[in-house]
Each structure stands twice: as C-alpha cells, then as structure tokens.
Amino acid sequence: MKTHSTTVLAVKHNGQVAIAADGQATMGNTVAKSNVKKIRSLLNGKIVTGFAGSTADAFTLLERFEEKLNSYGGNMKRAAIELAKDWRTDRFLRRLEAMMIVASKEEILIISGTGDVLEPDDDIAAIGSGSMYARSAALALKKHAEQLDAATIVEESMNIAADICIYTNHNITLQVLE
C-alpha cells in the first residue's frame, strides 16, 4: 500500500519560529492512526524537526540528522547538507521516502532525498500533501496580519490545510522556538 504524506509547516515571524504537523497517518485510503507525533526536538530543544512521508524512513533520517548535528557541533546547516549528501549517495538511504523540515531560532531548512537543502526566502517552509494549502494560508496571514505571532500563523494555516487536504487532520502538534 502506498503511504500518503502529511502536512508540516514552519514559520519564522516577529522573532519567533513555530513548527507544526498534523497527526494523521494513512495507508492507502484508510486512516491508520490519528495522533502520530511528527515533531521532534533535538539538541535540548534548540532545534525542532518535522517529517512527512514514511514514518520508519523519517525516523531513520532523524537519527542520521541527529548524528550529523553531534558531529558538526550543532551546526544545523552543515548537518543538513551532510545528511542530504549521504541521503542522495548512500544505497540504503536513497530508498527512503520522507522529507524533513528542520528549524532553529535563526533559520528554517527543508531537506529532501534529492540532495536539496532549501532555505525559504519568505521564512515559510511546508512539506507533505497539504503543504501548498498550509503555505498559502501562512503567506496570506504573514503578509496581512503583521500583529500575529508565528505560532498563531502556523496554527491557523494548519487548520486551513486540514479543512481541505484529506491526508491532514486537526490533531496538530505545535512547537515554538523563541
């Protein structure tokens, strides 16, 4: 069975970084679980990650990313680049089907299995099947509601994505870095 993705969204706004993911895991056209925790803290809460795709594959990548963080003294960008290089060239890792968003107080990165490490220009990163809905909502809220904090933008945007995307639910896990 094909495992469908999820929605993960990270926003940096007004000195705050917020990242959230829904809790739905699907197998084919069936909801397998509704309260999966797809957000993880690393380096004593200094870095937060979110994943979309195959859960087992994502956990493998999270472990590798944490190893890279430790190897490079907590340098998130360097760890992300090294993980992406390994992910693309290693025979085992190349088969993994997942994506990650990693965030610190300073930056947000998207890491993919194609070797990409992307730092969004607009401080909004989204992955998963509902990513375009969540990203669009976050762009609008960030642009037209300057007084909102990052957590509110992320929460509202995730709720909009959950209203539209059948692979995204309203069981949202949200974490904030200030």
Which range marks the domain in which residue 12 is found?
7-177
In a domain, 105, yes or no: yes
> What distance, in Å, lies between the first and last C-alpha atoms of the chain?
40
In this structure, is residue 28 part of a structural domain? yes
Please report which confidence band the pLDDT of residue 125 belongs to, taking 50, 70 and 90 as the band edges. Answer: very high
Query: Which residues are annotated as catalytic?
Result: 6
Q: Are 28 and 50 in contact (CB under 8 A)?
A: no
Does 172 fall in a domain?
yes
- The average confidence (pLDDT) of the chain is 90
Q: Per-residue confidence at 92, pLDDT binned at 50, 70, 90?
A: low
List, for residues 21-77, the tens digit of each pLDDT value. 999 988 878 888 889 899 999 999 999 999 987 777 778 888 989 999 999 999 999
Structural domain includes residue 95: yes
Residue 69: inside a domain: yes
- The per-residue pLDDT for 3 is 41
DSSP letter string over 34-60?
S----EEEETTTTEEEEEEE-HHHHHH
Angle at 113 between CA 107 and CA 114, to 5 degrees: 95
71 domain-assigned: yes
The structural domain count of the chain equals: 1
Whether 1 is covered by a domain: the verdict is no
DSSP state of 148: S
The type of residue at 153 is I
Q: Point out the least confidently predicted range of 42-51, 79-88, 98-107, 129-138.
A: 79-88
- Does 2 reside within a domain? no
pTM above 0.95, yes or no: no
Q: What is the CATH number of the domain that holds 18?
A: 3.60.20.10
- CB atoms < 10 A from the CB of 69, how many? 23
